[in-house]
Structure 1
């Protein structure tokens, strides 16, 4: 994969991709580059205003693109269910088998002050992990009937900050924002690990893989200071992004590689080549605890219980 870039993305004509958090940052770039290679893209975003604006931008940058915006709030499980039901209903009305080729679990929040989702989960765990766990499970039947389908979940090098605490998934015994973020990103990798195992056990050819952007300049870093009204901290974050971060275009490359490059292996983790920080996509280091079969299984069972979404086709 040396020197791999967006020009190496294979033709995506006839394929459909759902990209969460596609209104900005690496999510938008991911959707745009897939569209440039011929994919039909669904921008799954929480804000109708920002999602519609991103759709208009995409149509101006990729003339003739087949794209749509669909509202998805990963912090509200009823919204996740509504999105999945709407997608399945619309897919059934399209020519062909109405499946889904690519699910890009990209959206996320980082180091927020303590908040809870609509369903009462700590926000980082609820949005970054549980929302995507539920979405993937609800869309799985469409993915399973699509030859060559892939599920790419975006984690972070910051998963190394903390392993999950299976007895305190919602940080009820104390909340430290960066620890909670690290745990949510570890949860992403454990999810991919267990999903890949279950897909293989069921004899399915769907590839579940993970990626991370390194340090990419997006709106993510400034979100928490902005929520808290800390204008100085927000300014520092933006200056730091400008000085040391790679662009969102570069940060999206590991996701695009995992989604489209030939030979991507299940449970692989792709990130920037240079110290996991920047550069072309490469195999990324990951903490040993993200391959813990017991922890992955326990998190899976807890996630099914918390979301009410069971992966019936992948039991065991």
Structure 2
């Protein structure tokens, strides 16, 4: 074990992940067990609108270069979508497209660069996507957005927008991207959908009073969880949990705002524990140990099976909007009590919107299109 791994093993954040994350995962499966056998909802294939013969409905999958994102892109292409793969590295995106097309010669795929930790990159993606849609599709619309991208950062890094990289990538970026693409979702001639990938780790945000979770601008910038305090280590586990809870609060609030007033449904998907490269920044020996323990407990899934919850959320009937899909096989459970706090969700939305507007104004000053 090297020095970096030893330091991490001695940190409270490591034991938070080792103990609380495992207990949260087991708690989720306990909820599945207590709910008993439920009928698996029939998945609905994507549809085109009137006059849309020969045109496949468009879906966008973020973080599509590897892991669940790539698996979701492949699965949704099989379902009949024209899949837009979005990710930070064009080379990895090209490799993902080539691999999927080798397995599915009839797959319709496009790749666009997108870094959710950069407002400028999100705006560039929006512009490129709209231009591509105009060139290939008569309807300026998309039918599905899958917010899959996420990171588990081991250190506090400030983005060009002045935010904590993990918080911006996992929550602020998806919030901005979704709001930017809502007009295209509303333009869909058939019911459209947003799927946000959250995590069982959101249940670990229980140390705060229900009314006391901090969703202020400072917290969303990454300044309130101890990340920036001199001499303190980065609270990687707590920050990751926080981003996943924020994404879930956002999902439920977005459902309230869109589902009744429009044909856009919103689902939360929690795949459970899946063997991906999410822990790539941690010491390799610790990642190997974590996956080995989860495999021993029969709690670890491969991406091909772990993507089930994503497909359940993406293809469920529209009336399932606002549900929390967990672990595949059509299963839905209740998320944490805190995630259903509507007052917190509304405050989070207001603070996130304020940050969004600030970045918009800054982008205009800098000439961002």
TM-score, normalising length: structure 1: 0.87
- 1:215 equivalent among 256, 270, 273: 273
Q: Which residue of 1 aligns with 2:101?
A: 59
Note the residue ranges of structure 2 that are not aligned, 5 or more in a row.
Answer: 1-36, 48-55, 207-212, 228-234, 361-369
Q: Is the 8 A contact 1:215 1:246 kept in 2?
A: yes
Q: Which residue of 2 aligns with 1:154?
A: 197
Which deviates the most, 22-31 or 236-245? 236-245
Q: Which residue of 2 aligns with 1:190?
A: 249
**1:281 corresponds to 2:338:** no
Deviations 1:83-123 (A, max 9, x none): 01111121122233131000000110125322222212112
Note the residue ranges of structure 1 that are not aligned, 5 or more in a row.
Answer: 273-278, 311-316
**1:12 corresponds to 2:46:** yes
RMSD (Å) for aligned C-alpha atoms: 2.2
1:221-300 to 2 correspondence within 5 Å?
Answer: 222-225=279-282, 230-240=283-293, 243=296, 244=298, 245-272=300-327, 280-300=329-349
Q: Is the 8 A contact 1:155 1:188 kept in 2?
A: yes
Q: CA deviation at 1:208?
A: 1.1
Q: Secondary structure of the residue that 1:223 maps to in structure 2?
A: coil
Distance across 1 between alignment mates of 2:292 and 2:204: 24
Larger gyration radius, structure 1 or structure 2 = 2
1:90-169 to 2 correspondence within 5 Å?
Answer: 90-110=132-152, 112-146=154-188, 147-162=190-205, 164-167=213-216, 168-169=219-220
Q: CA deviation at 1:263?
A: 4.3
Which deviates the most, 178-187 or 105-114? 105-114
Q: Is the 8 A contact 2:57 2:82 kept in 1?
A: yes
Q: Is the 8 A contact 1:70 1:83 kept in 2?
A: yes
Q: Secondary structure of the residue that 2:136 maps to in structure 1?
A: coil
Which deviates the most, 71-80 or 233-242? 233-242
Distance across 2 between alignment mates of 1:238 and 1:283: 25
Change over 3 Å in CA distance of 1:26–1:231 after alignment to 2: closer
Q: Is the 8 A contact 1:12 1:34 kept in 2?
A: no
Q: Is the 8 A contact 2:163 2:222 kept in 1?
A: no
Q: Is the 8 A contact 1:122 1:170 kept in 2?
A: yes
TM-score, normalising length: structure 2: 0.75
Q: CA deviation at 1:2?
A: 5.3
Deviations 1:188-245 (A, max 9, x none): 01111111111146x211001111110111111x3221xxxx3422432454465441
Q: CA deviation at 1:74?
A: 0.4
Q: Is the 8 A contact 1:151 1:206 kept in 2?
A: yes
Distance across 2 between alignment mates of 1:263 and 1:77: 31
- 1:170 equivalent among 218, 221, 224: 221
Q: Secondary structure of the residue that 2:331 maps to in structure 1?
A: strand
Distance across 1 between alignment mates of 2:276 and 2:220: 27
Q: Secondary structure of the residue that 1:128 maps to in structure 2?
A: helix
